Amino acid sequence: MLDFTTVWSGEKSYTELVAGLGVDNLRDLTNEMITLMEKLIAECEDEDVQFVPDDPEANDTFAEDESLRDLAWTLGHVIVHVTASAEESAFLAAELARGVVREGRSRYEVPWESVTSIEQCRARLAESRRMRLASLDMWPDEPHLEIWQSIWDGQKINAVGRFVLGLGHDASHINQIKSIVEQAKVARYI
């Protein structure tokens, strides 16, 4: 796994973090991340998917409805959110690798309210793995890694960095998934 804490703390840039990574590394990192999430939810049951955890840090600054800003996310909500974000990064990375610079988003998120079973969470992770890996097959043999896009704080990333942004987003939610799973298990036995 990549150590994203060095980027989050400002010790490294995304460019430094991904230096030397290629498509095969991105495949391995994708499989590693999805496998980790699958392991974290391995013992979950359907009731855990809609369990509303205690999350004092809940703050969805992108919530379209202001009343949802401080809503604690369920396991189903987190799973559809992380997979949508990583898929977006994967597809934008494929465009950059092909030499296409495009502004805007490439995002679809399954409505979290529709995810009510653990099998749906597992299926969403499996589907996301398949889509992310397939996006890497769209990269040309000689990807355009000389093309850079600006992100935040003046940082610039190329196709590898763009793909890894999705993995970094996944990583930023791992502790949230762990917490939800732990709280749901405790609630089952109360």
Report the chain (190 residues): mean pLDDT per 10 consecutive residues. Answer: 92 92 98 98 97 81 69 92 96 96 84 95 98 98 94 87 96 96 90
Contact 90, 136 (CB under 8 A): yes
CA distance 132 to 90: 6
CA distance 118 to 104: 32
Structure confidence at residue 72 (pLDDT): 85
Structure confidence at residue 74 (pLDDT): 93
CA distance 11 to 35: 27
Structure confidence at residue 65 (pLDDT): 73
Rounded to the nearest 5°, which phi and psi values hold at 150? -80, 140
Contact 190, 64 (CB under 8 A): no
**CA-based nearest residue to 57, from 176, 189, 183:** 176
CA angle 29/122/161 to nearest 5° reads: 25
Instruction: Report pTM.
Output: 0.93
Q: Which amino acid is at 134?
A: A
Residue ranges of E strands in 30-186: 149-150, 156-157
